[in-house]
Amino acid sequence: MTDHEGHDHGHDHGHDHGHEVTAIDEEQHRALAVGLFNHVWELLRTTDRTPAMDAQMVHAAHASRFHWSQVGGPEQLAVGDWQCSRVYAVLGRSEPALHHARASLAICQEAGLGDWVVAAAYEALARASAVKGDEGGRDEWIGKAREAVLAIADPEDRDVIEADLATIGQ
Determine the pLDDT at residue 122: 98
Concatenate the DSSP letters of all residues of the chain into one string: --TTTT----S-SS---S----PPPHHHHHHHHHHHHHHHHHHHH-TT--HHHHHHHHHHHHHHHHHHHHH--HHHHHHHHHHHHHHHHHTT-HHHHHHHHHHHHHHHHHHT--HHHHHHHHHHHHHHHHHHT-HHHHHHHHHHHHHHHTT-SSHHHHHHHHHHHHTS--
pTM for the structure as a whole? 0.87
pLDDT in tens, the chain (170 residues): 444 444 444 544 454 556 677 899 999 999 999 999 999 999 999 999 999 999 999 999 999 999 999 999 999 999 999 999 999 999 999 999 999 999 999 999 999 999 999 999 999 999 999 999 999 999 999 999 999 999 999 999 999 999 999 999 75
Please report the domains of the chain, with CATH numbers, ordered by start residue: 26-166 (1.25.40.10)
Determine the pLDDT at residue 85: 98
Determine the pLDDT at residue 16: 53
Determine the pLDDT at residue 19: 67
Determine the pLDDT at residue 20: 73
Determine the pLDDT at residue 1: 43
